[in-house]
Structure formats: C-alpha cells, structure tokens
Amino acid sequence: MTATTLDAALDLIAEIPDFPEPGVLFRDLTPLFGDAEAFAAVIEALGAAVGYDVDRLVAVEARGFVLAAALGYARRLGVALVRKPGKLPNVAGRVDYALEYGQATLELPVGSVHEGQRVAIVDDVLATGGTVAATAELVRSAGAVVTGVAVVLELADLGARERLPGLPVHALRTV
C-alpha cells in the first residue's frame, strides 16, 4: 500500500453538516466502506497501527464493528463488540459517558475479554475521546490491558488525546 492509496481512500470520507444535530459535522465512512480497494487500504493501515502484540480487538458500535471485524479476520484475532445498552443478554460492565452532542452508555458482553489479554480498541472517528475512554474503562474493568487505539479519523480540535492520558492513539488521518 502506498501513501497515495491510503490518502485517496481517506479522501472518500464524506462530511455531512448539521448531523445528527445543528452544528455537528458528521464524518461518513460509507463511501470508503463501499470501495473495495479503499477499504482494503484502510484495514491494512489500521493493522500497521495496531501492531502485532495484541490478543484481541475491541470494537465500538457500530462502524467500529465493520473495521475491527475485517482487521480481526485479516490478523486471525477475535473481536469483542462493545454495545449500546439493551442489546446484550449478559453484561459484564456498563459505563455512562458524555458525547460531543449528548450522553451515551456502552456495555461489554460477558466473556468477551479476559484478564491479562492485550487488546487494541478500533473505531472509526475519535472526536472528544469519551467513547474510547469509556471503552477502555470497560476493558480494564474486565482485567484486560489496553495496548492502544486505532482510528480512521481524529478530530484534533476536540481534544480527545487529553482524555486518554498514557494511551497510545494512532489515527490514519487527523483533521
């Protein structure tokens, strides 16, 4: 993969103003997911960002599921799916947190990560860092070690890295 290929893939990310509410600029990865070569370039780059010293990937609902599933398949790694409330029959942990535009809750399924496992968090966009911080809290509460975070896009102006001290963050593109 060349930098040009990855840049072209990331250029497919669409910007949707005033969604999900006025003043928010939504980054839509749908065009990237729909282009096989672009998607492959992004998965390859996320794999390089995650590295090889991980036992499992942790994906954040919902676009993180797509990215982590593809990366997990490519690397032969299992994927733990962090869900929105009400989707799981057995919940190991639950965290409420603040979003850029409201409040949210995430839940970790029972048995999805294990004590001592080294896991990397995979998601599409890093904005305020609330979702990743909540996910890291869930994973750590299960006894696993978070090795880092890999995202496609980081919104630097929202200061997520300050909310994630000591956690390596790898973004394929920062805007």
Whole-angstrom distance, CA of residue 88 vs CA of residue 157? 34
Model pTM score: 0.94
Q: What is the CATH number of the domain that holds 152?
A: 3.40.50.2020
39 located within any domain = no
User: Percent of the chain at pLDDT above 70?
Assistant: 97
Q: How far is CA 40 from CA 47, 96, 98, in A?
A: 11, 33, 32
Q: Count up the domains in the chain and report the number.
A: 1
Q: Mapped to the 3 state alphabet, what secondary structure does 56-83 carry?
A: EEEEECCHHHHHHHHHHHHHCCEEEEEE
Asked whether residue 38 carries a pLDDT value surpassing 60, the answer given is yes
Residue 100's SS3 state is coil
87 located within any domain = yes
Q: List pLDDT tens digits, range 14-27.
A: 999 999 889 889 99
79 located within any domain = yes
Please answer whether residues 135 and 82 qualify as being in contact, where contact means their C-beta atoms are separated by less than 8 angstroms: yes
Range of the domain at 110: 52-174
Average pLDDT over residues 169-174: 98
What residues have CB less than 8 Å from 11, skipping those under 6 apart? none
61 located within any domain = yes
Cα 34 from chain centre: 19
Whole-angstrom distance, CA of residue 169 vs CA of residue 122? 10
Asked whether residue 149 carries a pLDDT value surpassing 90, the answer given is yes
Whole-angstrom distance, CA of residue 139 vs CA of residue 143? 7
4 located within any domain = no
In 107-138, which positions are buried (b, 16+ CB within 10 angstroms) versus exposed (e)?
bbbeebbeeebebbbbbbbbbbbbbbbbbbeb
- Give the count of beta carbons closer than 10 Å to the beta carbon of residue 37: 11
Please answer whether residues 39 and 70 qualify as being in contact, where contact means their C-beta atoms are separated by less than 8 angstroms: yes
16 located within any domain = no
Asked whether residue 2 carries a pLDDT value surpassing 70, the answer given is no
Residue 16's SS3 state is strand
73 located within any domain = yes
Q: List pLDDT tens digits, range 90-119.
A: 999 999 997 766 789 999 999 999 999 999
Cα 46 from chain centre: 10
123 located within any domain = yes
